[in-house]
Structure 1
């Protein structure tokens, strides 16, 4: 339906409450698989580059690149692309809908990573890394906003954390794949690393097939004057859930009045984030800077640390990556339910501070020369068990504490700015520290990431939001709902819309 044909007015709807009161069902698993698996692709991309970087830097790889260029410049270009993509597609997601954009962004990723596999010169490789990040960054905005608007409030915390933590399932796949791809008895040195990137295309195509069946967000449709479509989608979801559970659904307990608008200006969105919610803005920025600096700065160079300081062969770094990937994935999976029970504030602050303190201990042990490849990996596994949970909660936080109309752009903004600070400057700084061959400099790199994580945890103590088990509309009232309450209308007052349909046993 074109926006020009949409007639907007003021409606009262119970659709948010109807979505929140749904029990967990097979339909929700469709959402998790179709949308949440984007993180697997990101984890795959980051880990593949970290593991195959050493092989690409070797003679005969087909590309004249150094290890520093791969872990430094190429990594920074990937993150820069993600930042630009997040902002570009984030604005479009809030304006044109979640579904259109999460199909487009996945297509961009598929094209770019496929072209990376056939790189023939350094500039081509660098350009493709930027475009791959461009698609992945757009995915963050479109996907996280859609997930939060479709998952019931009582499950939102654990689901978000598990999905964001699945980055490390992709990392584990990438690590294990690199072991096979870099085995020169199976593939020539200039072929194996290309096959590693090709796996991303295969996984992306599978995700695209599932994603085609994910609907547009009913919450977004209501605000943009398309309540008939929203009603049809929610009615079909309710019918499917009732059929799966064999029990009638309870009546929704509340409704909300919304003044529909087709377009909400960027200025109003930015003003809402900064002026209406300054503490939440500081919170989101702190969480993103801390986790981005730790992950994008340190993990991009982990394979280089193993090779240069512990003489681990370039073809074996995948084993170590697979181990820390398990710890990273296990953290959000096991600790995620506590974010819905114990609560957001204590869990976010606790995971950030604890991971920072443990990383400082690791930095001290590395500086003292007390670690080898195995014990370093063990330390990182424990650190990242908590750090991964905290990092996942950063995305959860910014996707649920701002009004619905700003959600995708809020995710994009914090991701872009926070990641630009930690993810672009970090690899550049750390690659130089690692290339010095001085253990003191590597320990300094660890310490920088640790201090930023602790600082973010302290901010969460004071500015955190108790969002557990609450409707998105209760955490941050939609701008259009505020309009309706203020009595702003365009003269086309409508009767109450989106009443609950009759339920049958």
Structure 2
């Protein structure tokens, strides 16, 4: 049964709003830019690998042109496998060497991998570069949110951690527009075989330069005060004073450091392995892990990735809306999601509450999926010879397009804005790094499973996948209401006490 304490509302302290200092902005903005780089790299490289000039140069080797195994499969499987391994490694590095060290290590690997890809002349060297980038990306996506959450004030945590998500979306958008600009030039220049083309390498070179710049800046920024408290290091007091731009003897600084230092949940479990950490935890902490995992799975079954990447363009096509360039349609939907996320982070995440946004978002997303399911169940025609999908009714086409756009806005405004913040808050300090690492692995595994299962669902019925997602989101409404606590404006230590 759900814990009744989760339903209780803890009254917020009446205090003046936290000042967002320049030191705090810089200390959180640099890790957010690391997320921008990961998303930018993935978007750019996915597009580059489909360009004729690139394929003619790297995919001519007979070992990379097996009839049943495309060269792109080598890169995709290798990248995500190394990303999972990098995430698990980052969990250890964050706990033993610090969040800052793990982030710098991930950025260093990103720069090394992208540098290998800039001027390599062999397919195996390019593959090696992608493996290194994948490992570095896995480290970054764990270390960055962990560091941001632990240096942020409780009044600003939702906005600052969510800014990592915002810049990740901005990185995807930047990658789309970069390839929209240079993509046609690369394709056209492929006819000039005697000239070596460097257009696509410019996009990768920009990533390398930005990586090196972030490493230099992050090296000067402080470590997480909560990790320093685990190590029994009084340097954490200096970090808090630096972030708030106040003297160390300020009462507010002293009170926050005392709360962190005296928290009973700072123990040595961070040195345990993943299996030991799960096996030796108390039932309360296991429930904490369970809530975080189910919440992340619920985020995956919102259908955001599959709808935006695979189904949105098909829905637009079936509705008669065709773009001359696929990058344009993708860029428009990404821009809309980016704007909705920015509005939510600026005015809602730290004021309305995480739980409210998750509950309302689940309800709206369920309605969108069920609307699409009804449209494709009764008004669609599939040409199985060409794989084309058509909506024959004009009103059905309008409903389908409206559901897609409402879904994009609703997801970005609710789940997309708060899921990362809530996941960081649900773990204690000693569990946070490894918890986020396991959640990252869960995200990649579930994404692959959803992509594969979506193809089977479409073969059975075009509407089946929407019925499944709609039903799952209705279940998410119940789960959020009964199990997910409202963590808005609560300190990380207070949230841990509330859950345990």
TM over 0.5: yes
2:326 equivalent in structure 1: 317
Shift of 1:215: 0.6
Shift of 1:474: 0.7
1:5 equivalent in structure 2: none
Label 1:129 to 1:207 Cα distance change in 2 as closer, same or farther (>3 A): same
Structure 2: 5+ residue stretches without partners: 1-12, 191-196, 381-389
Any idea what SS the aligned residue of 1:332 has?
helix
1:494 equivalent in structure 2: none
2:226 equivalent in structure 1: 219
The 8 Å contact of residues 324 and 378 in structure 1, kept in 2 or not, is answered as no
What are the Cα deviations for residues 167-218 of structure 1, in whole angstroms up to 9, with x where unaligned? 1111111111111121237862475444444443233233333322321111
Report the RMSD for the aligned CA atoms in angstroms: 4.2
Shift of 1:221: 0.9
Shift of 1:94: 1.4
Task: Give TM-score scaled by structure 1 length.
Answer: 0.75
Any idea what SS the aligned residue of 1:216 has?
coil
Label 1:154 to 1:272 Cα distance change in 2 as closer, same or farther (>3 A): farther
Measured in 2, the distance between the counterparts of 1:298 and 1:74 equals 23
Measured in 2, the distance between the counterparts of 1:58 and 1:365 equals 40
What are the Cα deviations for residues 353-412 of structure 1, in whole angstroms up to 9, with x where unaligned? 423432443455567223999998875443222223414422212211221111111111
What are the Cα deviations for residues 398-431 of structure 1, in whole angstroms up to 9, with x where unaligned? 21122111111111111212331x223334455x
1:100 equivalent in structure 2: 101
Measured in 2, the distance between the counterparts of 1:376 and 1:49 equals 31
The 8 Å contact of residues 344 and 417 in structure 2, kept in 1 or not, is answered as no
Shift of 1:50: 4.8
1:461 equivalent in structure 2: 481
Pairing partner for 1:351 from 361, 367, 377: 361
1:115 equivalent in structure 2: 116
The 8 Å contact of residues 373 and 466 in structure 2, kept in 1 or not, is answered as yes
1:28 equivalent in structure 2: 24
Aligned pairs for 1:328-347 (under 5 A) are 328-336=337-345, 337-347=347-357
Label 1:386 to 1:209 Cα distance change in 2 as closer, same or farther (>3 A): farther
2:9 equivalent in structure 1: none
Measured in 2, the distance between the counterparts of 1:57 and 1:349 equals 47
2:410 equivalent in structure 1: 386
The 8 Å contact of residues 141 and 412 in structure 1, kept in 2 or not, is answered as yes
The 8 Å contact of residues 402 and 476 in structure 1, kept in 2 or not, is answered as yes
Any idea what SS the aligned residue of 1:393 has?
helix
The 8 Å contact of residues 51 and 318 in structure 1, kept in 2 or not, is answered as no
1:164 equivalent in structure 2: 165
Measured in 2, the distance between the counterparts of 1:426 and 1:328 equals 21
2:383 equivalent in structure 1: none
1:3 equivalent in structure 2: none
Measured in 2, the distance between the counterparts of 1:53 and 1:164 equals 25
Shift of 1:89: 0.9
The 8 Å contact of residues 145 and 399 in structure 1, kept in 2 or not, is answered as yes
Measured in 2, the distance between the counterparts of 1:452 and 1:57 equals 43
Label 1:67 to 1:377 Cα distance change in 2 as closer, same or farther (>3 A): farther
2:43 equivalent in structure 1: 47
- Structure scoring higher RCO (CA < 8 A, sep ≥ 6) equals 1
Label 1:279 to 1:265 Cα distance change in 2 as closer, same or farther (>3 A): closer
1:275 equivalent in structure 2: 283
Shift of 1:115: 3.0
Measured in 2, the distance between the counterparts of 1:375 and 1:322 equals 22
Number of residue pairs matched?
450
1:4 equivalent in structure 2: none
1:370 equivalent in structure 2: 391
Any idea what SS the aligned residue of 2:427 has?
coil
Greater shift, 256-265 or 338-347, is seen at: 256-265
Measured in 1, the distance between the counterparts of 2:461 and 2:124 equals 30
Pairing partner for 2:440 from 390, 415, 422: 415
What are the Cα deviations for residues 34-80 of structure 1, in whole angstroms up to 9, with x where unaligned? 11122212322343345445435996464367999588664454333
The 8 Å contact of residues 49 and 70 in structure 1, kept in 2 or not, is answered as no
The 8 Å contact of residues 166 and 341 in structure 2, kept in 1 or not, is answered as yes
The 8 Å contact of residues 351 and 488 in structure 2, kept in 1 or not, is answered as yes
Any idea what SS the aligned residue of 1:469 has?
coil
Measured in 1, the distance between the counterparts of 2:253 and 2:233 equals 23
Aligned pairs for 1:134-213 (under 5 A) are 134-184=135-185, 188-189=189-190, 191-213=198-220
Structure 1: 5+ residue stretches without partners: 1-16, 243-247, 483-505
- The answer to whether 1:230 aligns with 2:239 is no
Pairing partner for 1:426 from 438, 450, 463: 450
Pairing partner for 1:401 from 426, 445, 460: 426
The 8 Å contact of residues 405 and 478 in structure 1, kept in 2 or not, is answered as no
Label 1:103 to 1:329 Cα distance change in 2 as closer, same or farther (>3 A): same
Task: Give TM-score scaled by structure 2 length.
Answer: 0.75
Any idea what SS the aligned residue of 2:104 has?
helix
Measured in 1, the distance between the counterparts of 2:418 and 2:279 equals 24
